[in-house]
Amino acid sequence: MEKQHVKIKQMTEADWESVRNIYIEGIQTGNATFDTEPPSWEEWDKGHVKACRIVACIDGEVVGWAALSQSIQKQAYRGVAEDSIYVSSACSGLGVGTLLLEELIRASEVQGFWTLQSLIFPENTASIKLHTRLGFDIVGTRKRVGKLHGVWRDVVFLERRSSIVGTD
């Protein structure tokens, strides 16, 4: 499948089952999230910026998704968000992740976000490469930041500063 066959659109609640299934795939890898169970739609909906939720579709089927969440609610951090990006294993290597992250960056800037952050397990080298290729800098590694299945895990902390938002 070529990139031109991938359509990026705003995510809706109707996409949730597919988004959830792709998230479950990520959980099962053990290298995508600290979550061990997917959230409900209501939990997920509350935690993600409505204007920055997108899905990638091939032939009408959702094959990947990306979204922003804001964990710090202070006014000073209103332009800072964390990205999540997941691609179905069946579509790995097709450029879906690149298209999703490019569109998420664009949408984030339209919404006034000046910094995007990402916390990625060091073993998830494909995600780290994707992020650095699209302008994220590695800030450092947070050591033993959380446990997954009883094992302490590190995360690589990356961030991307917009060149068009928050430049004053």
Q: How far apart, in Å, do the first and last CA atoms of the chain sit?
A: 42
Per-residue pLDDT tens over the stretch 14-54? 999 999 999 999 999 999 999 999 999 999 999 999 999 99
| d(C-alpha 20, C-alpha 159), whole Å | 25
Contact 8, 103 (CB under 8 A): yes
Coil, strand or helix: which one is 51? coil
What is the model's pTM? 0.94
User: What confidence score (pLDDT) does residue 3 get?
Assistant: 55
User: What confidence score (pLDDT) does residue 1 get?
Assistant: 46
| d(C-alpha 69, C-alpha 122), whole Å | 21
Q: Structural domains in the chain?
A: 3-161 (3.40.630.30)
pLDDT average per 10 residues of sequence, the chain (168 residues): 79 98 97 97 97 96 97 91 97 95 98 97 97 98 97 98 95
